[in-house]
C-alpha cells in the first residue's frame, strides 16, 4: 500500500466505540474524482482482521455521492467481510439513497456457471477431446468433399468455374513474383554454397546438376507450397471464417447451396491447377539463379550450365516434383477451407483460423514430403 500523501485532505473519519461498532464518517465529495484517495484512506484506517460487529456509515457531511463513492462503502463491506444486517447508513439524504440503491452490498447470487475451468486435468482432457473431434470433423469434411465432387461430375455446370478462375489468379498469378524471387535467390545461394565444396575437387560443373535436381524434385515443390500456404491458405481460412461468423454460410445452406461446392471446391481446383505451374516456374528461376553464380564465379559458359542442368533431370524427376506439388496444393486448400469452416465466435476466430490454417498446412506439407521420400525409396 502506498503511504498517504502528507497533504491529502481527510475524506473519511473512522471511530470505533466499545460495542465493536465502527463509525465511518464520510466528508466532502465521494465521487469518481475522490475515489482513489478514499480507497487509500479506507485501507489505511480499517485493518481487515478486526472483530467488528456493526458498521455505521454516516453521510451527513457528504456533499456529492456517485457510484464510485458507493463503491468505497462496498469495499468496506468486502474488507471486513460484513453481512447485510451488520451495515447501516445514517443521515442519508434522499438523493444519496438513490445512488446507494444502485449497489448490491451482498454477494451476487449467481447460479450461472462460468465457462472457465481451472483444473489442469480437465483442461488436458478437453484439449485431447477437441483434437480427436477435430480429426473426426476433418474426415467428415473430406467425405463431404468427395460427395460434392461426385455431384459436380454428374452435373458439371454446377461447378463455379468463374470463381475458380478468380482464385487461380489470386493464388497463382499474383504469387509468381514472390515465388520467382525466392526460388531465384535459393538457386543462387545453393549454387554458391555447393561451389565452395565442389571446386575443391574441380567438380564445378556439377553445381548445375545439384541445383536443378534439388530444386525440381525436392525444394521447389516445398518452397512453393510454403509460400502458397502463407499467402493463400491463410486467405482462404480468413475469407471463409469471416463468412462463417457473419452467417453468410448459413444463408447459403438455407438457400439450398452446398457450401463445399460453392466455396471449397473452386479454391481446391484452382490451387491444384496453379501450384504445379508455380512449381515449374520455381525450378526455372532456381536454375537461373544458379546460372548467375556458374557464369560469374565458376567461369562456366551459359550453354554448358544449362546443358548440364537438363542432363541431370529425367522426366521422372520432373513428374515427381510436379505430382508432389499437386498433393501439396490439395492439402493447403483443404486445410485453409476446413479451418475457415470450423471458425466460431468473433473477430479473434478469424485470426486463429488463419494462423492454424498456415501452421497445419506447413506441418502436413513436410509430413507428406517425408511420405513421398519413403515411397520413393521403395519404388
Partner 1 sequence: MGANDIIRVENLAVVYGEDHVLDGVSFTVNKGEIFIIVGGSGSGKSTLMRHMTGLEAPAGGNIFIGDTDIAASGSKDFSATLKRIGVLFQAGALLGSMTVAENVALPISEFSGLPAEAVAAMVQIKLSLVGLECYGEHLPSEISGGMKKRAGLARALALNPDILFLDEPSAGLDPVTAAEIDQLILHINQTLGTTIIIVTHDLDSIFAVGQRAIMLGRESGHIIARGAPADLRDHDPNPEVRRFFTRKPPDT
Instruction: Give me the residues that bind partner 1 (CB under 8 A), please.
Output: 31-32, 35-36, 39, 66-68, 70-72, 74-75, 78, 98-99, 101-104, 108, 110-112, 114-116, 344-348
Q: In this complex, which beta carbon is closest to partner 1, that of residue 5 or of residue 256?
A: 5
Phi, psi of 232 (to 5 degrees): -100, -35
Q: Provide, rounded to whole angstroms, the least separation between the CB of residue 356 and partner 1.
A: 16
Residue among 118 and 303 whose Cβ is closer to partner 1: 118
**Residue 317 burial (CB count, 10 A):** 16
Question: What gap in Å lies between CA 9 and CA 59, rounded to an integer?
Answer: 17
CB of residue 43 to partner 1, shortest distance in Å: 8
Question: CB of residue 56 vs partner 1: minimum separation in angstroms?
Answer: 20
- CB of 100 vs partner 1, minimal distance in Å: 10
Return the C-alpha cell found at 181: 524471387
Cβ proximity to partner 1: between 101 and 127 the closer is: 101
* Alpha helix positions (H), the chain: 35-45, 67-80, 94-100, 120-154, 161-171, 176-198, 206-214, 220-228, 234-245, 248-254, 259, 265-296, 302-312, 315-342, 347-377
**Minimum gap (Å) between residue 58 Cβ and partner 1:** 21
Provide the minimum distance between the beta carbon of 62 and partner 1 in the complex, in angstroms, as a whole number: 16
Residues in the chain: 379
What are the residues facing 27 on neighbouring strands?
Answer: 61
d(CA 175, CA 278): 8
Nearer to partner 1, 145 or 343 (CB): 343
The nearer residue to partner 1, 98 or 376, going by C-beta atoms, is: 98
User: Looking at beta carbons only, is 98 or 123 nearer to partner 1?
Assistant: 98
CA distance 45 to 187: 75
Amino acid at each position: 500500500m502506498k503511504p498517504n500523501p502528507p497533504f491529502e485532505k481527510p475524506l473519511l473519519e473512522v471511530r470505533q466505540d466499545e460495542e465493536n461498532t465502527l463509525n465511518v464518517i464520510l466528508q466532502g465529495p465521494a465521487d469518481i474524482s475522490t475515489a482513489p484517495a478514499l480507497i487509500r484512506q479506507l485501507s489505511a484506517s480499517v485493518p481487515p482482521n478486526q472483530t467488528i460487529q456493526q458498521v455505521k456509515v454516516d453521510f451527513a457531511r457528504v456533499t456529492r455521492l456517485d457510484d464510485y463513492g458507493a463503491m468505497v462503502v462496498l469495499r468496506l463491506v468486502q474488507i471486513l467481510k460484513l453481512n447485510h444486517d451488520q451495515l447501516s447508513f445514517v443521515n442519508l439524504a434522499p438523493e444519496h439513497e438513490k445512488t446507494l440503491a444502485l449497489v448490491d452490498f451482498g454477494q451476487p447470487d449467481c447460479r450461472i456457471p462460468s465457462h472457465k475451468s481451472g483444473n489442469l486435468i480437465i483442461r488436458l482432457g478437453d484439449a485431447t477431446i477437441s483434437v480427436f473431434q477435430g480429426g473426426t470433423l476433418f474426415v467428415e469434411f473430406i467425405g463431404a468433399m468427395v460427395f460434392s465432387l461426385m455431384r459436380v461430375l454428374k452435373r458439371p455446370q454446377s461447378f463455379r468455374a468463374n470463381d475458380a478462375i478468380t482464385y487461380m489468379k489470386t493464388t497463382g498469378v499474383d504469387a509468381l513474383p514472390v515465388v520467382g524471387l525466392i526460388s531465384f535467390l535459393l538457386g543462387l545461394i545453393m549454387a554458391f554454397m555447393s561451389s565452395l565444396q565442389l571446386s575443391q575437387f574441380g567438380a564445378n560443373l556439377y553445381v548445375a546438376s545439384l541445383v536443378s535436381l534439388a530444386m525440381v524434385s525436392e525444394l521447389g515443390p516445398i518452397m512453393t507450397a510454403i509460400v502458397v500456404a502463407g499467402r493463400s491458405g491463410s486467405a482462404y481460412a480468413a475469407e471463409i471464417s469471416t463468412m462463417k461468423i457473419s452467417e453468410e454460410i448459413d444463408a447459403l445452406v438455407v438457400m439450398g447451396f452446398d457450401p463445399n461446392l460453392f466455396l471449397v471446391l473452386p479454391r481446391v481446383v484452382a490451387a491444384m491447377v496453379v501450384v504445379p505451374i508455380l512449381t515449374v516456374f520455381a525450378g526455372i528461376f532456381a536454375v537461373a539463379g544458379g546460372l548467375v553464380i556458374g557464369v560469374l564465379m565458376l567461369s562456366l559458359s551459359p550453354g554448358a550450365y544449362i546443358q548440364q542442368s537438363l542432363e541431370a533431370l529425367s522426366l521422372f524427376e520432373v513428374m515427381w516434383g510436379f505430382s508432389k506439388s499437386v498433393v501439396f496444393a490439395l492439402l493447403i486448400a483443404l486445410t485453409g477451407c476446413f479451418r475457415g469452416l470450423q471458425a466460431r465466435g468473433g473477430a479473434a476466430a478469424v485470426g486463429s483460423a488463419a494462423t492454424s490454417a498456415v501452421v497445419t498446412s506447413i506441418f502436413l506439407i513436410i509430413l507428406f514430403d517425408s511420405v513421398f521420400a519413403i515411397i520413393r525409396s521403395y519404388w
